[in-house]
């Protein structure tokens, strides 16, 4: 699932053109057959992350089947053991007690039987009664890409590491019927248990340009029957990959087991759109007696909808962490360079920092925040407060490793009178960010951080806010702009952006950025808007990296408080 370098607003026509370019195979992984088996001779350290999840070498993509079992966290992930581009995919397997330090195990699932001999693609884990995990995954059965759904179970339930998995011979358990597109039929979700004694799970698909989540039911987890109608579908959205469906509480931040249904609950349906390479979610109501899901805001049920992350973040998967009563979100952040460059450096792909996810008190969107365990990596700390930033100012944050840092900052301003007027035709935040970047003077903003910056600012990745005055309220734009991130040519350097639904009554905006050599993960307004950028500086590397706070608006901005930490490196897949 390589991230394509084109704008999000693709037409359906261009979507189908892409399928043709990939030899008509549904599932737009960019295939480099001649590079799939080129093993890494040397793993280059430049741009490798210091505290994000990644294997020692080669390609990774989707996080699969995350779970916690007997106090041990498990992450499976799509992995090429033979090269740094997509291909030869297995379910690699790592374990952890904190989701920060990881130990590599042998692959859990790999092609070996008629029901998956041509590929073991993404899927999910479910915890059955008596605390028994089971995996559902997509198997590829032939050269024309026919997709079926299989299951795997641990060989030894007494092993908390779940080192070995068995793929029984009664697979596949779900096969596409004649009304289903069998080459667009993948990524089964975590199953949930209904009050009628039946398990349910979703499989992503499409019919022409209609994105579909098919619903299947089973009494024994072995014999599955497709419900007559999809749980949900949307015209014009194309293939729905990696669907996720789970309940969220209307009261507080605690997560819920996937099978919970009742009062004071809403449901989240997330899909990864193959056509745009972005993810979208809606919040709504699930009617178990009818097996349908209805979004609260149908106008957002399309390419203009809410996203977990407005940047480089795809194929995500959540799980319920029962020990700490929270829902955890994993997502893949692919490279933004070329396949040949990935082969040369010997690796490609990382997983974003796992995030706690819960429903905002408004009930209209989710909030996300890096898991608290990340703070064990915090080292040297610097603080700044009541620092005024006038038009054109940039203040360096010294005393930390700017290439590997965690920064939390609260900005304040005394007035919104200078906010620029908002044009109602500005529908696309990314287009607006590219027009009004960090160097374009504004009223209230742009202000924020210059991350992964060189001393003379030949290179920098700005993460910033800009406030506009609309007819009835203020609109806040948040950007993570890679256009100035590197002097190197041939890179994908988008101006990622999203609007932030925040009340500015207190005239404050907060920002947290996780900076890690070639990735900047940013969380605006307490996790209302999140943006991940992958960047490849040539000057601003290692000890030549700097971090600045800046303001390029006519309204003076105050750094009410800023705390930054150097981040240590955890044990990572040794």
Does 196 qualify as catalytic in the annotation? no
Distances in whole angstroms, Cα of residue 122 to Cα of each of 409, 453, 494: 37, 37, 27
Sign of the C-alpha dihedral, residues 338, 124, 134, 118? negative
Kindly state the greatest CA–CA separation across the chain.
69
Partners of 165 in beta bridges:
154
Shared domain check, 62 and 116:
yes
Shared domain check, 325 and 432:
no
Sign of the C-alpha dihedral, residues 410, 415, 420, 422? positive
d(CA 303, CA 315): 16
Q: Name the 3-class secondary structure at 19.
A: helix
Is there a domain that residue 1 lies in? Answer: no
Shared domain check, 448 and 355:
no
Shared domain check, 415 and 269:
no
pLDDT at 2: 33
Closest C-alpha to 445, from 436, 456, 453, 454: 436
Per the CB < 8 A criterion, the answer to whether 566 and 515 are in contact is: no
Is there a domain that residue 399 lies in? Answer: yes
Shared domain check, 410 and 342:
no
Shared domain check, 455 and 329:
no
CB neighbour list of residue 446: distance below 8 Å, 6 or more residues apart: 436, 437, 438, 440, 462, 464, 465, 466, 479, 550, 551, 552, 553
**Secondary structure of 180-211 as H, E, C letters:** CCCCCEECCCCCEECCCCCEEEEEEEEECCEE
DSSP string covering 253-292 = S----TT--STTEEEEEEEEETTTTEEEEEEEEEETTTTE
Partners of 519 in beta bridges:
534
Of 370, 404, 436, the position where a domain reaches its end is 370
Shared domain check, 354 and 430:
no
Shared domain check, 467 and 441:
yes
**Secondary structure of 316-330 as H, E, C letters:** EEEEEECCCCEEEEE
Place of tokens 């064990």: 376
Q: How many CB atoms lie within 10 A of CB 142?
A: 12
Shared domain check, 153 and 17:
yes
Is there a domain that residue 574 lies in? Answer: no
Shared domain check, 428 and 307:
no
Per the CB < 8 A criterion, the answer to whether 533 and 312 are in contact is: yes
Partners of 389 in beta bridges:
557
In the predicted model, residues of the chain with pLDDT beneath 50 are 1-27
Closest C-alpha to 147, from 107, 100, 187, 99: 187
- For 157-200, how does the pLDDT look when each residue is reduced to its tens digit (9 = 90+)? 999 999 999 999 999 999 999 999 999 999 999 999 999 999 99
Catalytic residue among 62, 244, 342, 516: 62
Is there a domain that residue 64 lies in? Answer: yes
Joined together, the tokens standing for residue 328 give 């955890």
d(CA 136, CA 463): 39
Is there a domain that residue 7 lies in? Answer: no
Shared domain check, 192 and 43:
yes
Is there a domain that residue 540 lies in? Answer: yes
Is there a domain that residue 416 lies in? Answer: yes
CATH number of the domain residue 394 falls in: 2.60.120.560
Closest C-alpha to 116, from 37, 34, 173: 173
CATH number of the domain residue 341 falls in: 2.115.10.20
Q: What angle do CA 141, 145, 149 make, to 5 degrees?
A: 55
Shared domain check, 332 and 313:
yes
Distances in whole angstroms, Cα of residue 457 to Cα of each of 363, 536, 564: 41, 14, 20
Joined together, the tokens standing for residue 22 give 């990939």
Joined together, the tokens standing for residue 292 give 């349908």
d(CA 161, CA 72): 7
Of 348, 370, 392, the position where a domain reaches its end is 370
d(CA 394, CA 400): 17
The number of domains in the chain is: 2
Of 335, 370, 405, the position where a domain reaches its end is 370
DSSP symbol at 343: H
Structural domain of 524: 378-567
Partners of 287 in beta bridges:
292
pLDDT at 21: 33
Is there a domain that residue 554 lies in? Answer: yes
């Amino acid at each position: 699932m390589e991230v394509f370098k084109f704008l999000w607003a693709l037409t359906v026509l261009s979507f189908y053109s892409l399928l043709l370019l990939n030899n008509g195979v549904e599932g737009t992984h960019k295939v480099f057959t001649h590079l799939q088996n080129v093993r890494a001779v040397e793993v280059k350290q430049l741009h490798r992350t210091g505290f994000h999840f990644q294997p020692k070498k080669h390609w990774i993509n989707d996080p699969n089947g995350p779970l916690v079992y007997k106090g041990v966290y498990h992450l499976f992930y799509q992995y090429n053991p033979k090269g740094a581009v997509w291909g030869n995919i297995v379910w690699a397997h790592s374990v952890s007690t904190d989701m920060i330090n990881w130990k590599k195990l042998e692959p859990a699932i790999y092609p070996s039987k008629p029901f998956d001999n041509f590929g073991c693609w993404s899927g999910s884990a479910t915890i059955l009664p008596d605390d028994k995990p089971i995996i559902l995954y997509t198997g590829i059965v032939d050269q024309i890409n026919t997709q079926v759904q299989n299951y795997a179970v641990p060989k030894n339930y007494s092993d908390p590491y779940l080192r070995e998995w068995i793929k029984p011979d009664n697979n596949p358990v779900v096969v596409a019927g004649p009304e289903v597109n069998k080459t667009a039929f993948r990524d089964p979700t975590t199953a949930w248990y209904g009050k009628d004694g039946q398990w349910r799970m979703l499989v992503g698909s499409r019919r022409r340009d209609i994105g579909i989540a098919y619903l299947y039911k089973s009494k024994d987890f072995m014999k599955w029957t497709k419900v007559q109608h999809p749980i949900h579908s949307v015209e014009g959205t194309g293939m729905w990959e990696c669907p996720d469906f789970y309940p969220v509480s209307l009261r507080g931040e605690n997560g819920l087991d996937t099978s919970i249904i009742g009062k004071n609950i809403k449901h989240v349906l997330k899909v990864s759109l193959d056509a745009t390479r972005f993810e979208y979610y809606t919040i709504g109501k699930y009617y178990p007696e009818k097996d349908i899901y209805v979004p609260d805001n149908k106008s957002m049920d399309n390419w203009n909808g809410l996203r977990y992350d407005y940047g480089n973040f795809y194929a995500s998967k959540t799980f319920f962490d029962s020990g700490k009563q929270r829902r955890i979100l994993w997502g893949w952040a692919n490279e933004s360079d070329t396949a040949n460059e990935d082969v040369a450096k010997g690796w490609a792909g990382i997983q974003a920092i796992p995030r706690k996810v819960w429903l905002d008190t408004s009930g209209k969107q989710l909030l996300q925040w890096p898991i608290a365990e990340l703070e064990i990596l915090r080292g040297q700390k610097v603080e700044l407060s009541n620092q005024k930033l006038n038009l054109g100012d940039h203040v360096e944050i010294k005393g930390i490793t700017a290439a590997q840092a965690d920064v939390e900052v609260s900005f304040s301003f005394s007035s919104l009178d200078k906010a620029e007027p908002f044009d109602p035709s500005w529908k696309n935040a990314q287009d607006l960010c590219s027009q009004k970047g960090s160097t374009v003077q504004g009223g209230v903003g742009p202000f924020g951080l210059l991350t992964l910056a060189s001393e003379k600012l030949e290179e920098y990745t700005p993460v910033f806010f800009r406030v506009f005055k609309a007819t009835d309220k203020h609109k806040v734009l948040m950007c993570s702009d890679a256009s100035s991130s590197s002097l190197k040519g041939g890179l994908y350097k988008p101006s990622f952006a999203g609007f932030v639904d925040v009340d500015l009554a207190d005239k404050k905006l907060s920002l947290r950025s996780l900076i890690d050599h070639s990735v900047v993960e940013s969380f605006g307004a307490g996790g209302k808007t999140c943006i991940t950028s992958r960047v490849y500086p040539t000057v601003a590397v290692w000890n030549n990296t700097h971090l600045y706070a800046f303001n390029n608006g006519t309204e003076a901005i105050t750094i009410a408080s800023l705390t930054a930490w150097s981040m240590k490196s955890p044990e990572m897949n040794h």
